[in-house]
Structure 1
Amino acid sequence: MNLFYFVAFLSIFFSLLVIFSKNPVYSVLFLIVTFFTFSVHYILLNAQFLAIVNFIVYMGAIMVLFLFVLMLLNLNKDTEPMKSSLLKIAGVVSGLCLLLTLVGAVKSLNVSEPLILKDPGIGLVKNLGKVLFNEFLLPFEVSSILLFSAMVGSVLLAKKDPKKI
């Protein structure tokens, strides 16, 4: 339980660093660390598949793409337009509305008894694979054929001369 609280503290700390960082590259790097702490939370909750997907998709692909785009844009204070005070006030008001909504949601929670799962192995990759390849084999294969055809179509659209197919 102490590890959970430590990782929760790190999640909150790095997410605050994402918000308050002045440099956008550092902000993306802190977001990658925040997603890593989310993966640790998933492992602690016995959801290994979600941890692996979070690690590969969000940390490995999307956040690296964000980092490359930010480095490509080369943002600095000269190229960034000045924000009006009306826009800043609207941001503060919307942030306070979000905070009020979160406080109301936390107050309405009923945490008198802990949640106990009927099947503790529900998030394991082994169990997910059994369900995926037994009950959902046909939709899984149809989606793989759909993704394959989309990949072939994107390669054909990206070709320079369509007559040389």
Structure 2
Amino acid sequence: MSDIMFYVLGVLSILSAIVVVGSNSPINSVLALIFTMFCLAGEYIILNAQFLAVVHIIVYAGAIMVLFLFVLMLLNLNKDTEPQKSTRFKMIGVVSGGLLLVVMVGAMKGAGLVAQPGIADANIGLTKNLGKVLFTDFVVPFEIASILFLAAMVGAVMVGKRIKR
């Protein structure tokens, strides 16, 4: 059953990605992209990576896509102001994207990187195991990353702060 759901979600994500590229309305493109993100999160759940699925939904579908929607609504895009692209450029884009897809699948198949839907170990991807590995084996890189993020936040505040004269 999980194999069938994996392939159904894969087909749905590909179809919604085609809608993203082919839609004339930017709002419809963003909504189709949000649906694509939910399909990918469903595939993460099937692959037993629940934490990655939740983070994917919160960060991408929840924050970034909503930000895209707000920006598109604020831009007030009209057909009169947008340049019209010829169908020749669209067809060139479709052909080059298809060729890129064929090359990428061939490269992954030759390297043995094509994912299999079934997983032998049921504990892979659980948040408990991720936290255990993160705070035992990778505690020093985790703390260094947190210090870098703190320095970046302080730097952003200092750059954005106005100097009163």
| Residue 162 (structure 2) pairs with residue 146 (structure 1) | no
Question: Normalising by structure 1, what TM-score?
Answer: 0.79
What percentage of residue pairs aligned between the two structures are identical?
56
1:31 CA displacement:
0.8
Q: How many residue pairs get matched?
A: 160
- In the alignment, the residues of structure 1 paired with residue 101 and residue 137 of structure 2 have an alpha-carbon distance, to the nearest angstrom, of 42
1:83 CA displacement:
2.5
Residue of 123, 129, 132 corresponding to 1:130: 132
Quick one: structure 1 residues 125 and 161, their matched pair in 2 at CA, closer, same or farther if it must change by over 3 Å? same
Residue of 63, 69, 72 corresponding to 2:71: 69
Give the partner amino acid of 2:136. Answer: N
Quick one: structure 1 residues 130 and 107, their matched pair in 2 at CA, closer, same or farther if it must change by over 3 Å? closer
Quick one: structure 1 residues 16 and 93, their matched pair in 2 at CA, closer, same or farther if it must change by over 3 Å? closer
Q: CA RMSD in A?
A: 2.9
The 5 A counterparts of 1:1-165 are 1=1, 2-84=4-86, 87-98=89-100, 100-101=102-103, 104=106, 117=119, 119-161=121-163
Greater RCO (Cα-Cα under 8 Å, separation 6 or more): 2
Q: Which runs of 5 or more structure 2 residues have no equivalent in the other structure?
A: none
- In the alignment, the residues of structure 2 paired with residue 88 and residue 115 of structure 1 have an alpha-carbon distance, to the nearest angstrom, of 34
1:104 CA displacement:
4.7
Spell out, residue by residue over 1:94-121, the C-alpha distance to the aligned partner (whole angstroms, 9 max, x if none).
13423543675698698xxx67656431
1:13 CA displacement:
3.3
In our comparison, the structure showing a higher alpha carbon Rg is: 1
Q: Which runs of 5 or more structure 1 residues have no equivalent in the other structure?
A: none
- In the alignment, the residues of structure 1 paired with residue 95 and residue 5 of structure 2 have an alpha-carbon distance, to the nearest angstrom, of 35
Quick one: structure 1 residues 56 and 116, their matched pair in 2 at CA, closer, same or farther if it must change by over 3 Å? closer
- In the alignment, the residues of structure 1 paired with residue 109 and residue 143 of structure 2 have an alpha-carbon distance, to the nearest angstrom, of 45
Give the partner amino acid of 1:36. Answer: F
Is the 2:51–2:127 Cα contact (8 Å) retained in structure 1?
A: yes
Matched residue of 2:123: which SS? coil
Spell out, residue by residue over 1:61-82, the C-alpha distance to the aligned partner (whole angstroms, 9 max, x if none).
2212222222222222111113
Quick one: structure 1 residues 134 and 67, their matched pair in 2 at CA, closer, same or farther if it must change by over 3 Å? same
